[in-house]
Every structure is written in structure tokens, then in C-alpha cells.
Chains A and B, each alone.
Chain A
Amino acid sequence: MWGERTFQAFREAARQALSDGQIQQALRGATGRFREERVHALQDLPDADGLRDRLKAIRAATLARLAEHLTTFERNATAAGARVHWARDGAEAIAIILALAKERQVRTVAKSKSMTAEEINLNPALEAEGIRTVETDLGEWIVQLAQEHPTHIIAPAIHKTREQVAALFSEVAGEPLPPDNIPALTATARRLLRDVFLTADMGITGVNIAVAETGSIVLVTNEGNGRMVTTLPRVHVAIMGVEKVVPTWEEAAVWLQLLARSATGQPLSIYTSILTGPARAEDPDGPEEMHIIILDNGRSRLVGTEYEEVLQCIRCGACLNVCPVYRKVGGQTYGSPYSGPIGAVVTPLLFGLDRYFALPHASTLCGACLEVCPVRIDLPRMLLSLRRDVAERGLLPARDRKLEQGIAWLMRHPRLYRWVMRGVRLLQRPFVREGRLHLPAPLHFAAGRDVPALAPRSFMELWRATEQQHADGSPSM
């Protein structure tokens, strides 16, 4: 189960991650590599910025008429032979899947990585009913075997070492596997999971894009597990958030052109599967049934609000890789399937600000996320709005609230403010080293962080001095 993130819980989780050298190294390596490859992949496009603007316009226009596009999608998917189900929340989605599984006496479910399934905690619900549920994305399977949660939207197991992976696989394989040979570990996973694909009765996937005009869903994977679970089991169930729809193929192409480039720096993922209904009568293979579950789970109430923009997200993970907070604290610290800057915004919006009020504060507001987002989602703006909501709803701890109220009061009294600042500048002197404040432990209000000392002269003083200089001789421009 995902946790809640009060300030205390977030700090505790962050402290753990920060003191884990292995996680620090994994985060540095993975996020650095993704960052570089994304830049190269976008440089290959003649007009990547224009394409991003277009994707933004497409996502915004689609959300404005979401009900229409969803019903068009439903009509065309149904015409193609799929069954479309609607779920207001995770419990309803799980009930639909369990009913489908029981009616069909499903014993084994093969899953392809789905953030939406993570969001509703699908696996424990299936397992509780005695249905064997196996994740088939290599990273997701590692995380499942370790009984942990994915820590990156597109690289679920970046926090695991090859030694840990070898130990987990050895247990399943029933023989000791050496950790030094990653291709051999991968081959073992191929062999063990191939049996799962061939024997599973139901395949469960997410949906990367739903195209209304043909009722098709698009799935992208690199390993081929997405193709496996939509080809071999007799039933395919796909879960999608209401926001995943796009009206036409022309628009879907813009989305696809940016998705893999922003995520892993690939021009396209290795496999892009476009699925329109179950296998036709004349097809030699493919699933007999296809079910699509359209899940709301708190999304529709964001449409038309200042947080609607968060629904434009295409889940590429680019914002995680550039975030100075994510890159240090990693995915576990967020206590949610969605981590990093997008997770800090979408988690409290979908799962409750009262449970996750620390997340909007887990940001330096540096704006790097906005700069790399393929849909140019203004996450810093929404982080600030959520901080306001946290304060307005009285969720701040009393100490922080009093401190912030005090500062706000002081800032409304400019003369007093200047006097106080002058006083602080004098008082800080014994504690300043190389421009940073080093307070003794009990007084240190920002443990674990560097706090810059107040500059010797304030901006206003410098400004006034400059004006004075100009007035004294050197004429201004």
C-alpha cells in the first residue's frame, strides 16, 4: 500500500534515501543518462519546440471537449468488438476486473507495466482472490519479486543492484545465478516469463494513447511484453485514465513523436502496438476478448480548474530526471506511484492533499521540469497553488504556520523589515563561513540543507547606491 506524506514522513523517507550510497549512485547514473539521451533525441528533430507547442495545443483542446472524445472512442472501440467499462474509482475498476476474471475462471494474469494499475493497487486485489498475477516488464518484475514499489515512471527498478536482482532471480529459478552477467540474468527472465505468457489466461495492460476516431489503443514497450500479453492470453484487459484520449491519428502521431524521445531518448520505443478490438474471426491468433476500462479516480473533477493542466501529462518521466529533489531522494520518498515534480502535483490532487501535503513542498521551484516537459506543463505554478491550498486548509504544522505568518506580517511593514534585516545581518556574522550560514544544531532550521547567509548589503541598498553614483557624475544611458 502506498503511504501518506506528512512533512515528517517525507523527511524520514528522504533521510533514508540520502544515506543510501547505492541509491544515490543509481539515481545519478540513470537520471544523467536519460537527460543526455533526451537532448540528443530532440536535437535530431528539425523543430522539436514547434512540435511541443503543437502537443500542448492538442492536449489542451482535447481536455476541453473530453466527454465528446471519450464517447467517440467508446463508440468506435465497441464497433471494433471491444467492451468498454467505466469506473469512477479504483474499487470499481478492481471489481470489474475481478468479475471478468472469475466468470472466465482465470488462474494466471500476465501484466504489462501500467502506472494506472499501480495507482489502484490492482495486484494485491487479484492475489487476494487467489489469482496469480505476474508483472512481465523486467524492471517491474524485479520490483514485484522484491515486494517493493517502482521508483521511476519508466525505470521501475533503478534502485536495485545486479547482486540483488541475481538473488531474487535465483530464488525463482531454484538455482544460484551469478550477478556479474546481466545478459544471462535477462535470459533467465526471458525463459521464466515465457512460460507465464504462454499459460496466462488474462493479459492486463495500461494504455499510452487512446485514439477516438478508430477506437484504438496504443501501447509502447521496449521488451515486447506488451505485445506478449496482448497476443497470447485469451482475454486482454486495458486500463486507461480518462485523460489518455486523443481525437485523431494525426494528433496521436505528434504524441508518439515526442513520447519516447522525452522518456528514454529513443526515436520510437522498440514496439508500438496499435490495438483495435480483439482478434477478428479470420485472424490466426490474438485475444478472443478485449476489455477497456476507462478510469476516473479523481481526474474529471480537475477539468476546468487551475489544475486541469496536470491532465495533459503523457507520463514520459522527463521531469523526474532533471529535478534536483527527485535526483537526490528518489521515487520511494514520494510514497506514490507518481514521483518527481509531476508526482508532487498529481499525487495530492488524485489521492488527497491531506494525506500528501508535504509533496508540493518537495521542490526548489527551479523550473527545470517546465523546461523539459514535452507538453510544457507549468508544474511550478501548480506547486505554488498547492502550497497555498495546504496553508488555507490549515494543514501546515503550527510551528511552520506561525513562522510564515510572522514573516508575512514583517514583510508588510517595510521600515521595520529593513531594521530587522540589518539586525539579522549583524547577528549572523559569527556563523557565516564562505557565504553560508552554519548555525549550531538546535537553532538550525534547515538541517541537511545549505542556507546562504544574508548579503552584506541588500538589493535596495545596492540599487540606491547605483542611482546615487549616476546622479553624482557618470550620466546614465
Chain B
Amino acid sequence: MTTPRETILQHLHRRLRSVLPARGWDSPRTFPDLTARFAQTLQAVKGEVYQVGSWSQALARVSELLDALAASRVVVNPDPPLDQVAWSKRWPERSWFVVGQTSGSLREFCARADVGISGAMAALAETGSIVVGSGPSHSRMATLLPPVHIALVATTVLVPDLFAWIRTRPHSMPAALTIISGPSKSADIEQTLAVGVHGPRRFIVVLYDDEHASGTGGARDAR
């Protein structure tokens, strides 16, 4: 008896035709100002963007945001350089879960957390997106369950578009990569936009210039 796999593949094998493989898309897009395009596209879908000059300013902005949100429970995916921050020392009045460092149930913490904080491995200017991946200290829940997601993104990781990012994608894929292009939304009831259906209601990107890579950020933007 043939298995379903054999039946389907035999069927398709009989119809194999030789063709030239199609290629991807090789007309790279450029923007005069990657940061401006990123911010404009993300803001158009109610994402929030703050631009600051340095990492320390980025942390100061996070502090202000946490105050404004009155956040008491915060979960952090410590992507470098977020791993260098002593979160609970700096903000002892809040309860912190640093993925990979804090013990206890990540799931229970995330389910009741007010804010999730992460970095980004890449940001796409054209579509106003950031890319986050799973891994040892990268929780999927941290950027999904809390009602607010704050991403700290170095301008050095900005690329023009999806095609540019795909060319530099990780050689070995993590179990989950997520391209996030705004706050969760739906228009399923009478075509009326509602924000924050299942994922975060607020998606806040703090874009900072990376002083450790000084000069390259500006050079990229001018490309």
C-alpha cells in the first residue's frame, strides 16, 4: 500500500518540467534618510517612535516611559547592550523579570506584566518594522503578552527594506523570528480600526545612535 506521501510525490514527479529557476528581487531600494522613513511608516500605523542621540539617553527615555505608564511589572529580553543594564538596581521600585537571569515562571510573569522590553536584530525602514528572534535569553512571550512593547533599536541595524534584511538573515534560523510592524490591530468589526486585539496595544520604538559604532550610522543613512 502506498503512503499518502508516496501518492502525492509520485503524482507530482510525473509532472516535473525543467524550467529556469526564478530569481529573487535584485533592484535594491534606497531612502535618503532611513530613520525618517522608518519613523514615518511606523507612525502611520499608530506605532510610536522616539529618536535619541545615545544609549544613555535611550535608557533615560525608557525611565520616563515606565513612569508615564506606571509600570510595576516589566519583563526584559536582554539582547546586548540591554544585558549590561542592572534593571532592578536602577529601578528598584518596579518588579523585573530578566529572561535568562531571573528565576521563576516566565509565563506567569509575562501574563501579568505591564511592559515588555527588547532590542532588535534588524529594523526595516520601508515598512517601519523591527525583527526579533527567539533564543536562550529571548522570550517570545516578553514581546507579545504585555500590553506595551518597548524596543530599543540602534540606528546601525536599520536597513532599507525586507530584501536587504533577507540578504543578511541569520544563516541558521532560530525557532522563531518575528517581524513586528506596529501595535496589534484589527478592523474585523464593521471595518473600524481597533488597536490592541491580542498583542501589545502600544508599540514604542526608541531609536538611538550607537556610540560604539560612531560614524557608521550616519554613513548608512546617507547611502
Q: Chain A residues in contact with chain B, CB under 8 A?
A: 26, 29-30, 33, 46-47, 50-51, 54, 57-58, 60-62, 64-68, 70-71, 80, 86-88, 92, 136-139, 142, 155-158, 160-162, 165, 182-183, 185-187, 189-190, 193-194, 197-198, 214, 216, 222-225, 227-228, 230-232, 242, 247-254, 256-257, 266-280, 282-286, 294, 296, 300-301, 303-304
- The reply to whether A284 and B19 form a contact with Cβ atoms under 8 Å apart is no
Contact flags (1/0) for B11-35 with A, using CB distance below 8 Å? 1111111111111110101000000
Of residues 76 to 107 in B, which have CB atoms within 8 Å of A's CB atoms? 99-100, 106-107
Complexed CA–CA distance, A137 and B187 (Å): 11
Complexed CA–CA distance, A248 and B166 (Å): 10
- In the complex formed, the residue of B with least CB distance to A194 is B198
> Which residue of the partner chain, among B25, B192, B196, contacts A182 with CB atoms under 8 Å?
B192
Q: Chain B residues in contact with chain A, CB under 8 A?
A: 3-5, 7-9, 11-25, 27, 29, 41, 45, 99-100, 106-107, 111, 126-129, 134-141, 144, 161-163, 166-167, 169, 173-192, 194-200
Complexed CA–CA distance, A194 and B107 (Å): 13
Complexed CA–CA distance, A61 and B196 (Å): 40
Complexed CA–CA distance, A70 and B134 (Å): 26
Q: Which residues of A contact B17 (CB under 8 A)?
A: 64-65, 304
Main secondary structure of the interface of B (DSSP, over half): loop
- The reply to whether A266 and B190 form a contact with Cβ atoms under 8 Å apart is no
> Which residue of the partner chain, among B138, B144, B188, B196, contacts A142 with CB atoms under 8 Å?
B188
> Which residue of the partner chain, among B4, B25, B176, contacts A92 with CB atoms under 8 Å?
B4
Complexed CA–CA distance, A88 and B23 (Å): 30
- In the complex formed, the residue of B with least CB distance to A275 is B176
Q: Nearest Cβ distance between residue B87 and chain A, in whole angstroms?
A: 16
Q: Which residues of A contact B194 (CB under 8 A)?
A: 182-183, 185-186
> Which residue of the partner chain, among A189, A253, A268, A282, contacts B166 with CB atoms under 8 Å?
A253
Complexed CA–CA distance, A252 and B166 (Å): 9
Task: Given the known inter-chain contacts A182-B194, A223-B199, A284-B136, please indicate yes or no for A155 contacting B187, CB distance below 8 A.
Answer: yes
6 A-B contacts (beta carbon < 8 Å): A64-B19, A194-B111, A223-B184, A223-B185, A223-B198, A282-B136
- The reply to whether B166 and A249 form a contact with Cβ atoms under 8 Å apart is yes
- The reply to whether A223 and B186 form a contact with Cβ atoms under 8 Å apart is yes
Complexed CA–CA distance, A66 and B27 (Å): 27
Q: Nearest Cβ distance between residue B179 and chain A, in whole angstroms?
A: 4
- The reply to whether A197 and B19 form a contact with Cβ atoms under 8 Å apart is no
Q: Which residues of A contact B24 (CB under 8 A)?
A: 54, 248-251, 253-254
Task: Given the known inter-chain contacts A64-B17, A250-B25, please indicate yes or no for A267 contacting B41, CB distance below 8 A.
Answer: yes
Q: Which residues of B contact A33 (CB under 8 A)?
A: 191
- The reply to whether A270 and B27 form a contact with Cβ atoms under 8 Å apart is no
- The reply to whether A285 and B178 form a contact with Cβ atoms under 8 Å apart is no
Q: Nearest Cβ distance between residue B158 and chain A, in whole angstroms?
A: 15
- The reply to whether A284 and B137 form a contact with Cβ atoms under 8 Å apart is yes
> Which residue of the partner chain, among B129, B187, B188, B198, contacts A190 with CB atoms under 8 Å?
B198
Q: Which residues of A contact B11 (CB under 8 A)?
A: 296, 300-301, 303
Complexed CA–CA distance, A197 and B188 (Å): 19
- In the complex formed, the residue of B with least CB distance to A224 is B199
